[in-house]
Amino acid sequence: MQEELNQFEMNDVWELVPCPPSQTIIGTKWVFRNKLDDQGNIVRNKARLVAQGYCQEEGINYDETFAPVARILVQKFSKLMQGEFEMSMMGELNFFLGLQIKQCQEGIYISQSKYTKELLKKFGIEEGRTVSTPMATNVKIDKDEKGKPVDESKYRGMIASLLYLTASRPDILHVVCLCARFQSNAKESHMSVVKRIFRYLKGTIQYGLFYPKNENFSLKGYSDSDYAGNIDDRKTTSGSCQFLGDCLVSWFSKKQNCVSLSTAEAEYISAAFCCIQLLWMKQTLADYKCSFESVPIFCDNISAINIAQNPVHHNRTKHIEIRHHFLRDCVSKRKIEISFVPSQDQLADIFTKPLSSETFASIRARLGIMHIE
């Protein structure tokens, strides 16, 4: 606490002035935290004196909140900060917001094994057998309106925890997003699927993402769909993933907003979602002086590829929303190149449907999700 007060005085954080009349004084509060390493050991005791911001009212005490973002090279930024404040470099990053980072000559490993162990203990799933996939291929989930209800608070807590885990475990994204659709009226059938996810995690606690060190800096994406896969409304699930070189950097699994009338339409809409993400990444990377010509999207549906490459509007595509046809415009302007990929090489398949153990393990490895010592 004394060190915190010394820092305030050294850096001239405030100056004393007479209290303005008719003004409410905002108090302060001490916040104490134990900083832990990735093994859960206490490495530092922290004390912070903060303003009681919850006493402030928007429009009276402040207009807006914001977080400044700076893009500076690391060494220059460190030197600048050390010149202004008394601070020290903590060394190589190895634990941040629940993410465990291991850096080596081959590349960088990112995992959440510590967090996974805590979840298994929290929800009482430390015992029992493990499974090889997060979802069985013969299971079809629906609203199950006649099913027995479960504790919604517990169910939502499990879903929220699993969603945070997808930051380093994209292999569970599809089934977690699928189960998240039933948070408002969860049944035993839904809970059993959620528990299977935890049993899968129990057998793959040490798994995480590996980012290899190489000079391959190409940008590419994969898109896929599960046509009319939702039993309740027959909407399609879109899946997509994007790579920078050999590194998986972005992924999503989402139910489409409208019902597709054909497999080609479903795949075309999924490719449009993938195109949006790739264009954003392309623009963001341009800030770092990285330029890309025509970025490829790999799709396993030839009809969808033909729709994207054909500049003439056919009668069979009139019903497709106009906003999805920007994909065709991007292809014609050579911003995006849509290419065919065999179904066995479609890496986005894991984000749209449950897969067999063999196929699931193969795609998981190709995404860079592996066992981390």
pLDDT for residue 70: 45
pTM, two decimals, is 0.76
pLDDT for residue 38: 65
Residue 28 has pLDDT above 80, yes or no: yes
**What is the band of 57 on the pLDDT scale with cuts at 50, 70, 90?**
low
Token match 């303003």: residue? Answer: 51
Q: What is the pLDDT of residues 120-133, one digit of tens each?
A: 999 998 888 999 99
Closest CA to 350 of 366, 371, 372: 366
**CA-CA distance, 230 to 205, in Å (whole number)?**
30
Which of 83-92, 186-195, 266-275 is least confident?
Answer: 83-92
Token match 């699993």: residue? Answer: 162
Q: What is the pLDDT of residues 136-182, one digit of tens each?
A: 999 888 999 899 999 999 999 999 999 999 999 999 999 999 999 99
In 156-276, at which residue ranges do the beta strands (DSSP E only) sit? 207-212, 219-226, 237-244, 247-255
* 194 token code pair: 């959620």
Asked if 214 contacts 246 with a C-beta cutoff of 8 angstroms, the reply is yes
Residue 208 has pLDDT above 50, yes or no: yes
**What is the band of 220 on the pLDDT scale with cuts at 50, 70, 90?**
very high
Which of 71-80, 244-253, 279-288, 325-334 is least confident?
Answer: 71-80
pLDDT for residue 233: 85
Residue 61 has pLDDT above 70, yes or no: no
Strand, helix or coil for residue 358: helix
Query: Torsion angle of alpha carbons 39, 44, 45, 46, nearest 10°?
Result: -110
Dihedral sign, Cα of residue 81, residue 91, residue 169, residue 340: positive
pLDDT for residue 313: 55
What's the mean pLDDT in 3-30? 82
Asked if 266 contacts 223 with a C-beta cutoff of 8 angstroms, the reply is no
Amino acid in the structure at residue 289 = K
Q: What is the pLDDT of residues 287-301, one digit of tens each?
A: 888 888 899 999 999
